[in-house]
Amino acid sequence: MLTLVTKLVFVYIGAILVYGFIFYPIMIKLFSNMSVIKFITAMKKPQAVALSTASSMATLPVTMETCEEELKVSKSTSSFVLPLGATINMSGNAIYYGLVAIFFAQMYNIELGLGGYAAIIFTATIGAIGQAGVPGPSFLVVAVLLAAGIPIEGLPLLFALDRIFDMIRTALNITGDAVCAVIVDGLNDKKDKLEAVSI
């Protein structure tokens, strides 16, 4: 059993790394003029705070400071996008919910059909939007498991490791918030320039 949980931890870390160091940099490259290297370097400080606190809300002031002072995101954009993202932009949580659901489905030898996977995707997405930006066990995973018809009896097995999962997913969550702020600010700049030209 411990071997299975260890595998889940490593798969989760791998998924977070792919999302944080491949998907997000691609988004920055495609939708902003920001240097990917500059962004990754600047985000080290808020990510360290996120790892230590496991709270998007506690990390918010550091994320805002980094975005405004180092990434040159306007104060109006950061003050709107980042607090909003701290409560509804939880991609790390969505990945966690999905992987945990598949983990328990395999553990109980439950065959997941198209409907089961659709239920996991839908409830994981909704759960990630509604998750509070504070540390603690993610009980919303219960809804994901129930939606896919997966027993919840094994959940206490993961609660002992939830702090580790929480630290990792919080670091990804605040990184996603900063990505959104950079992209939105870049789009606002383009809009302002187009309006200036048209005038």
Per-residue pLDDT tens over the stretch 34-61: 999 999 999 999 999 999 998 888 999 9
Q: What is the pLDDT of residue 143?
A: 84
Give residue 198's pLDDT: 58
pTM equals 0.88
| Degrees to nearest 5, angle at CA 51 with 61 and 21 | 95
Give the mean model confidence (pLDDT) for residues 9-25. Answer: 95
Alpha carbon distance 179, 28 (integer Å): 7
Task: Kindly list the structural domains of the chain, giving each domain's residue range(s) and its CATH number in brackets, ordered by start.
Answer: 2-93+133-140+154-198 (1.10.3860.10)
Q: Within 32-155, where are the H helices?
A: 36-42, 44-53, 56-69, 75-88, 91-107, 114-130, 141-147
pLDDT above 60 for 136: no
Q: State the pLDDT at residue 171.
A: 95
Higher pLDDT, 188 or 35: 35
182 or 159, which is more confident? 182
What is the torsional sign of CA 123, 22, 10, 134? Answer: negative
Average the pLDDT over 154-176 and give the result: 88
> Which residue in 70, 17, 20, 16 sits closest to 179, CA to CA?
20
Determine the Cα–Cα distance for residues 39 and 60; give it in Å rounded to an integer: 17
Residues 82-100 pLDDT 10s: 999 888 888 998 999 999 9
More confident: 39 or 3: 39
